[in-house]
A and B are shown apart, each in its own frame.
Chain A
Amino acid sequence: MRPGASETPTRPETQTVPPRPRGHDRRGWLVSAGFVALIVWSYRGTGVDPGQLVGPEGLRQIAIYVGGLFPPDLSWTALRDAGIGAVETFAISLVGSLLAVGIALPLALLTARTLLYRGVLFEARPLAPGPRALRIAIYAGAKALLNLLRTIPEILWALIFVFMVGLGPFPGVLALAFHTGGVLGKLFGEVIEDVDPRPLEALQATGAGRVRIMIYGILPQAAPQFVSYALYRWEVNIRAAAVLGFVGAGGLGQRIHVTISLFLEQQLLTLILAIYVMVTLVDALSAYLRRRLV
């Protein structure tokens, strides 16, 4: 084409942007419309009435309630009670998390397919069909058990264990252990399956057996992540342990339940402050340990 042939000069910089695909756009609008409909439907269904809160009457009620929280009850008995509750919550979260690791480790070994029936470990000596089928069945069973443990929330486990062994911190420990055991088991299993295969292959090439490959190849790679995940779940569990008491499983939650039920607002604020201090301390401790260990 000769230069200057066209009447209007082209502007290449505006043409480098490709036009938006039309179908994509329409789907976006549909999704947005769907969400708006979902929100409207939900808003009507829940009988939400912001006026009840934001109106003058509601605001006055809130002001009275918040005013009642102050000052926090810092008398010796309230502080001692909060202290005992905090220590109990700490103990529940620590023992619960450790038990969870105890539940998670064996189940993780049984749900790591690379340990059971496939991958580097089974290249040199493949499994016979019979044992292989058995191992796949073990894998499926352990996986299902982990799903069950994980699906039931801590607070429901706590209800069940309170029913079994009675009130107190022990059912709280068991509840955390079962739910977190399911979560950690899944995470640990994935860590084992995702280790770098090259060291394992190197070990195998030197003639190491399956056990040696596990101990010297898989464990050193997986252990730091195990520790990291366990610490993270401990941080989650200190928060969970603080509320498990609502169903009678000890700790700060039980005391909070009592103070709210009896309208002891000033003690409630003391307990909430105790949770805050507790959670902050455990987060800091966990961050410190993670830096040193991982």
Chain B
Amino acid sequence: MIKIECLHKKFGANQVLKGIDLEIKKGGIFAVLGPNGSGKTTLIKSILGMVIPNSGSIKIDESVVRNNWKYRSDINYLPQIANFPGNLKVKELINMIKDLRTRKKADDQYLIELFRLESYMDKKLSSLSGGTKQKVNLVLTFMFDSPLIILDEPTTGLDPISHIRLKELIKTEKTKGKTILITSHIMSFVEEIADEIVFLLEGEIYFKGSISQLKSKTEQPDFEHAIASILTTSDA
């Protein structure tokens, strides 16, 4: 599905990604973990072509990402911070994104009901709270039927009930055979849904495998402690 080879990226003097080699197979939920500033978002943005890597290659279904844009019609992306043009209404924004991806059938009505957004449809985006913006963001991400879904911190600002609905939504997407890439700092969330995790540390892949493999590698009984032990040993 996704094949990344020897990916390097520098922002000025700051070397963010130092040679990432990663292969993600079709189907299943993959969590990209790592401390703040370890390059998770940069990695995701490189896959989307928003960040242009210094070297290395990224292929999605055998098509090279660089200087290509058509492949993005098969990706749904949830950005980390929901920044929308404030002067648009929720409805207008949703319709506009639908217009941009006319080839796809959009299933927005179901999602709007799922996240109880009906009463916000005529409100301006600038007047929405952070959590509501995130829900709009989720609607925009999930309304198209694409084989690859990338979620950057999907749980930010969500209330518990929306959190549960989001988890269910992710699980149903998985049963449809989709590949889902998630970054998150909420370990219980990752532990519950992820099939496989990729742990980034200072721009390199520190660990890739299932959660049980990680537990046995670090000799820790639970997931949260396993992650914490990686962080403390790497600091020492």
**A and B interact physically:** no
